[in-house]
Amino acid sequence: MTAIAFIGLGNMGGPMALNLVKAGHTVTGFDPSASALSLAKAGGVTPCASANDAARAADVIITMLPAGAHVRSVYLGEQGLMAIARSGALFIDCSTIDVASARDVAGKADAAGLMMLDAPVSGGVGGASAGTLTFMVGGSDQAFARARPILEAMGKNIIHAGGAGNGQAAKICNNMMLGIQMISVAEAFNLAEKLGLDAQTLFDISSKASGQCWSLTTYCPVPGPVPTSPANRDYQPGFSAAMMLKDLKLAQEAANAAGATTPLGAQAAGLYGLFAAQGGSAQDFSGIIRFLAGKG
Ligand code: NAD
């Protein structure tokens, strides 16, 4: 049993914290949202009045926050977690944030003699509730070994991706592939429709041929071929277009900073930006098929 502080109890953090409670850990928590805090309390998390109150006596401090600016403000500065955490505490940031912020904050933790991991996730709210998330983890071997049993209470695939920031790098590279692939599958189904080729027939062929990919076989953007895909429930997420846009923008930011050439990633970010601006942000990201077909 470990004393764990959980900061950021939203759609993802809330159910993740409850899985830590179910695994027998003592969990203190904070979120500025009263409703998030009371949901967590109902699941056995001890609610606290601030992040620092939750974290002061914890051995492991986990954050699940919206973006890099939130992570910097919660960890750094005179009032930040790094200033108040007990010596030997382990920080695990599970938020999806920019690689540069992840490396900067981890470097500051290292300079203060504290261990920190970046551990963004895939699997969405469903995976957070079921405890089946995939964690992509950046940081030292020693910190990873310490974190693994904690992360196993919230996920089923725990992968060490290398040093600080590499968890974030893995997450945005993966989601850039996913965003590009979804657009490619969507365009192919839209073309097939114009050519008089039935969607189920294209699925039956391409799912056995070289066009095969996750966006086709698990998450098909047309209703019918994969009954569990969001296309069968009017594109309710799932993984929202707003989240996909966030990750594609992070990928472009990282590509620009690193001097990598990612023209399709840039194109995908642009298309998801337009889809989101025209009312698609709360839809599942596979709903881009309707936008690409000019159906809104
Ligand atoms: P969310 O908005 O539901 O939750 C974020 C929570 O952080 C909110 O409850 C908010 O009140 C809280 N918060 C904001 N500032 C805070 C602060 N200073 N201290 C403490 N709490 C603070 O978002 P979410 O869907 O839970 O996503 C969280 C992170 O997980 C994001 O980085 C997101 O990109 C990533 N992610 C989300 C999904 C998904 O499907 N929702 C999937 C993978 C990764």
pLDDT at 150 over 90: yes
Query: Which three-class secondary structure state does DSSP give residue 93?
Result: strand
Say yes or no: CB of residue 238 within 6 Å of ligand 1: no
The torsion of the CA quartet 47, 50, 55, 60, rounded to 10 degrees, works out to 70
List, for residues 162-209, the tens digit of each pLDDT value.
Answer: 999 999 999 999 999 999 999 999 999 999 999 999 999 999 999 999
CA–chain centroid gap for 293, Å, is 28
Ligand 1, atom 38: nearest CA belongs to which residue? 124
Task: Answer yes or no: is the C-beta of 173 below 6 A from any ligand 1 atom.
Answer: no
- pTM of the predicted model as reported, rounded to 2 decimal places: 0.95
- Per the structure block, which two tokens stand in for 245? 């846009």
pLDDT tens for each residue of 85-137: 999 999 999 999 999 999 999 999 999 999 999 999 999 898 999 999 999 99
Q: Please give the distance, rounded to the nearest whole angstrom, from the Cα atom of residue 66 to the centre of ligand 1.
A: 4
Tell me, in angstroms, the distance from the centre of ligand 1 to residue 70's CA.
10
SS3 category, 28: strand
Query: CA 93, CA 26: separation in Å to the nearest integer?
Result: 18
Annotation marks residue 22 as catalytic: no
For the chain, give every domain's residue range: 3-163, 169-292
With a 6 Å cutoff on the Cβ, whether 279 touches ligand 1 is: no
230-266 pLDDT tens trace? 999 999 998 999 999 999 999 999 999 999 999 999 9
Domain 3-163 has CATH 3.40.50.720: yes
Residue 30: CB within 6 Å of ligand 1?
yes
Res. 212: pLDDT tops 80? yes
Cβ 18 vs Cβ 9: under 8 Å: no
Q: Does domain 169-292 have CATH number 3.40.50.300?
A: no
Q: How far, in Å, from the CA of 219 to the mean position of ligand 1?
A: 24
